[in-house]
Amino acid sequence: MDGVTSRIKHKLARIGRIPFASRRRAVVRELDARSAYRLWAPTYVTETATSFLDDELARKMLGGLPFEQLLDAGCGTGRRIARIPGAVGMDASPEMLATGGARHVVVGDVREMPFDSDRFDMVWCRLVLGHLPDAFPAYRELARVCKPGGYVFVTDFHPDAAAAGQQRTFTDHEGTVHGIEHYLHANHKDLAAQSGLSLVAQRDGAVGPSILDFYARGIGMKAYKRDLGLNLIAAYLFRKAER
């Protein structure tokens, strides 16, 4: 993001607070998602502004829904499921899984998951689908492994953020900023419907007071004022039809 001095860049590299950058922040090169997360894994932090917004939306949208058999498809380090009994995680990056040391996790691709059909009553796929050029195969798999009557929760980088020049980035241990391969999907509801999922709720996560501290400790209040109100995350809750 703009207004980042050398000192703040160094701090950002150390604490990894804001994983999105504006068009004016220098990005060395874009990496495919697999290479990016392999490189990011050793310095991946447990909380960022975007993961905080993602969790905030999850709490608001998923309260009271069943979690007895939960799959986090694209779980990263497994942070989100660490304290949920019986939850299963899957990620394409073995390095990320190893960093987190979570139990009940497997390596796998969200487009071809190693699970039986109709297994989970809740399926998460959070900040993952934007790394895929075509999200439809993933939606088919999310619907397949979900039980009839179960729920699928998807979050993605918001089109408004992309339109404002934001990118998905990370800073490695040397302080170098890398872009992460990202594809804009504005048709989540259509893809879900084609996969047999119906929309239950949709909400956006925007820059606001809840993540002000991340800005204050990261790239500064000038950037916060500039971004205030900007939607960073789009969240969708779907349900699979009963049989």
Containing 234, the helix (H) or strand (E) segment is strand 231-240
Q: Are 4 and 25 in contact (CB under 8 A)?
A: yes
pTM to 2 decimal places = 0.87
Both tokens assigned to 209: 């007071």
In whole angstroms, what is the distance from residue 79 CA to residue 99 CA?
10
Using pLDDT thresholds of 50, 70 and 90, give the confidence band for residue 90: very high
In whole angstroms, what is the distance from residue 15 CA to residue 10 CA?
9
Q: Supply the pLDDT for residue 32.
A: 92
Q: Which of these CATH numbers, 3.40.50.150, 1.10.8.10, 2.30.110.10, 3.30.1330.120, describes 6-240?
A: 3.40.50.150
Q: Supply the pLDDT for residue 219.
A: 80
Where exactly are the structural domains of the chain? 6-240
Closest C-alpha among 188, 161, 203 to residue 60: 203
